[in-house]
Amino acid sequence: MNDLLFELLLPELFDYATCLEYMERSALECLYRADSTGVTRLFELGSGPLLIKLTMRDGSFIQARLLHGSVPGIEEQERLARYITEWFDLDRDLTPFYTLAAADPLLGPLAVRFHGLRIVGIPDLFEALCWAILGQQVNLAFAYRLKQRLTAEYGRSMEWEGHTYYCFARPEDLLGVSVEELCALQLTRSKARTILEVAALLARGELSREALLDMPSPEAAEKELVAIRGIGPWTAQYVRMRCLRDPSSFPVGDVGLQNAVKVLTGMDKKPTPAELVGLSVGWRGWEAYATFYLWRTLY
């Protein structure tokens, strides 16, 4: 099966190959398979599992092709199209970002080097929160391993042409799971407690992406998130950036961001959060994109 479901017109200042290179950065990624031809991912949209591959046509369209599963209805295709749009931040005009980057000595070369790169988001709030929690104070490779263990244990999977494709766990999949069970996957007790608390809040409807997006400001959404035990400013800002699609999110406490700036500027030590704020005066409103491009230099 290789049925074309729909096409999405791509915006200007978008380069699929550059985004795919970013998505290929780790062989440990378990939620999609990316290569130079596109990205393949398993989705659950109500009618059952759908294995979808996203490819490029004529440099102007992303095509969504069904590799395995029943052809979804119109509403499900619309949900899938919305997910893809948010995954690749397709409805954002990057012209202002490239304008300010061109005038910035730090961002200017990066805007040329990674031209067309979009923030590759995590549209599902539970997945975004779990990924940020798993990544707290550990290296990226170990965070990927924790995500793979959590996904394999509580998510769903499909075998197709010699590969296993996974869907991330849903909040309700973790109801009744104990801290000890998550610790057996090598999560710390603190991370296990936080993930179970987040799962419970989402399952009860007390926390949702829609409610966070409806708040009067991204800062209000961050305040709501940091009220949850185990979620601090870095985690909340990461979720603002990758899930809530807030281009002004600026995780100044991020070690990777600090290291990237240190290397690129030739500083003899990592910049402090206050120094990063001072450095970013010209990035106002686009701090998340500046951060994403700076992160990209690390791998």
Q: Which CATH number fits domain 94-115+243-299: 1.10.1670.40, 3.30.70.2190, 3.40.50.10210, 3.40.980.10?
A: 1.10.1670.40
Integer distance in angstroms from the first to the last C-alpha of the chain?
Answer: 35
- What pLDDT does 47 receive? 74
Fold of 125-240: Endonuclease III; domain 1 (1.10.340)
Distance of CA 217 to the CA centre of its chain: 20
The CATH class given to the 3-92 domain equals: alpha beta
Domain ranges in the chain are 3-92, 94-115+243-299, 125-240
Q: Determine contact, residues 146/187, Cβ cutoff 8 Å.
A: yes
What does the pLDDT read at residue 1? 67
CB 276 within 8 A of CB 258: yes
3-state percent helix, strand, coil for the chain, nearest multiple of 5: 45, 15, 40
Cα gap 115→210, rounded to integer Å? 31
Kindly name the residue from 58, 124, 254, 268 that is annotated as catalytic: 254
| Residue 254 annotated to the active site | yes
Q: Beta strand 156-160 with 163-167: parallel, antiparallel or unpaired? A: antiparallel
Residues with pLDDT less than 70, the chain: 1
